[in-house]
Amino acid sequence: MIRAIFQAAKLPNANAPYDTLHLKIYYPAVQSNSDAERMSGVIPADKSHAPMPLVIFFNGINVGIESYHWLAVKLAEVNIVTVMYTHVAETLPNVIGLTPSIDLARVKPDTYGSGATCPAIQPILDLLKQLNEDDKSAIYQTLDLNTIILGGHSAGGTVALQNGQFFEQVKAIFSYAGHTMASTMLGFAPGTVLNIGSKPTLLMRGDRDGVIAASRVRYGADEQSPDPVAKTFDEAIRASGREDAYDILLQGANHFSVAHPLDETTGRFFLDLEVGRANEDIREDIADLVRSFIDRHIRGQNLDIQSKHAIIRRK
């Protein structure tokens, strides 16, 4: 049984009403058949595999967390607690939307690397610590807060890649359609790739991604320039000398293959290309790759990271 609980946390230094994070925490549960359980619907975590590793997943701009529900459930099924959150705030100057929370003041040539670019991470970690220590919480003594994995999609994938280096408890990072090419609007030179630290990293992307292709102008690139995700792998990862990173090109997948169901009233889905195979199969590939990555680099299992529908580069 997979269940979820909701929580809220304040975002420090943010202006009301855009200073609140709404969390949804997915976990494996076991029924106790108590009256309190039947009345509230809150079912305690299954502690037979505790303490469990924890994924904090960052949504893409204007993509609701409901679109990643399927992935959170699949991770919880293999005893990986997953946290997602909703934050409504500025996505661009004077534009309000759903955001993974980005501090643009930390993403400039003279400030990048000085601290976390996502102000939501620390308050989320603080709240999870409280819940893990509260004997009235459904996830009491369930979480391994020293084993955090950051994951994300699109801009959320970028947030995951940028911030693992600032938190010792983060042990691995995965991203779908995320990269660290820097916007020239923020003052970076064309083609700049930002450093992402030295944690095990899984980069995934689709060969039908129309959104990244349409966005290359942001980075001073053109249609003939290398794919931004591949460029991140080549320049931010290979240059570091690491041997625990992967660049996976999924055949037939597009930018939003990880999002299901996709809300077509928001976001930039209209820039995307049609998928080349069943989206359900692509999502299963994504879930298998993420689970294998975590099993290998977090749980120490001797598993290969592979997919018959992907081109995989390893470092």
What pLDDT digit, counting tens, does each position of 89-131 carry? 998 878 999 999 999 889 999 999 999 999 999 999 999 999 9
What pLDDT digit, counting tens, does each position of 255-284 carry? 999 999 999 999 889 999 999 999 999 999
pLDDT above 80 for 39: no
Would you say the pTM of this structure is higher than 0.85? yes
Beta bridge partners of 201: 173, 245
The pLDDT value recorded for residue 190 is 92
pLDDT above 80 for 35: no
User: Looking at residues 77-99, what average pLDDT do you find?
Assistant: 94
CB neighbour list of residue 142: distance below 8 Å, 6 or more residues apart? 27, 45, 47, 50, 51, 52, 81, 132
State which H helix or E strand residue 156 sits in: helix 155-163
Q: How many domains does the chain have?
A: 1
Domain with residue 62: its CATH number is 3.40.50.1820
The pLDDT value recorded for residue 240 is 64
Cα 153 from chain centroid (whole Å):
5
- CA 47-51-53 angle, to 5 degrees, is 120
Q: How far is CA 299 from CA 21, 102, 139, in A?
A: 30, 30, 21
Which domain range does residue 205 map to?
Answer: 2-314
